[in-house]
Amino acid sequence: MNNCKSFKPSIDINSKILILGSMPGVKSLDAQQYYAHPQNRFWKVMGVICNEPKLPKFDYDLKLKTLLKNNIALWDTIKSCKRKGSLDSDIQNETPNDIKGLLKKFPNIKTICLNGNKSYSAFKKYFPDLLEKYNYHKMPSTSPANARYSLNKLIMEWKVLV
């Protein structure tokens, strides 16, 4: 069982959309980058959402800057947990991030997008009142473990952001 800790949020005062994952997987934690697993489709989906088809090939800092340029912030619902491997279903002893504090500090956020079932269930568990205050979307996970969604189907679902 590994102790996992999420990253700092990627956000600025212009951010209007907050995308929340659950907890970065092993490859992402090792690289210290969101969605670093090569089979995760997050950056491909965001390339379409941001009208930047080459986004998946950008270096990590430029990927984050591109999201911010499109008013999209990125963070995780879970601050820390114990987990063997990368599967959300193996998450134990979770502690939530201070999402309420983040939203107070960045009042331009109007929409919260929850990337996958675990992000949504943790958000609902720890912040049920925020579901009433914000426009939110429970999105299909971009993880390679979500094999029933093709890239095109993911893109169609995620287009609610634009």
Query: Which residue in the block uniquely carries the two structure tokens 């987990």?
Result: 83
Q: Where are the domains of the chain?
A: 2-161
Whole-number Å distance between alpha carbons of 43 and 54: 9
Judging by DSSP bridges, how do beta strands 135-139 and 17-21 pair with one another?
A: unpaired
Whole-number Å distance between alpha carbons of 34 and 22: 11
pLDDT at 86: 82
The amino acid at residue 148 is R
pLDDT at 26: 86
Model confidence, pTM: 0.95
pLDDT at 1: 72
pLDDT at 149: 93
Query: Which residue in the block uniquely carries the two structure tokens 């502690």?
Result: 95
- 2 among known catalytic residues: no
Query: Active-site residue among 2, 40, 70, 117?
Result: 40
Topology of domain 2-161 in CATH is Uracil-DNA Glycosylase, subunit E (3.40.470)
Query: Which residue in the block uniquely carries the two structure tokens 């989906």?
Result: 45
pLDDT along the chain (162 residues), means of 10: 91 98 90 93 97 96 98 97 80 93 97 95 96 95 90 94 82
pLDDT at 92: 85
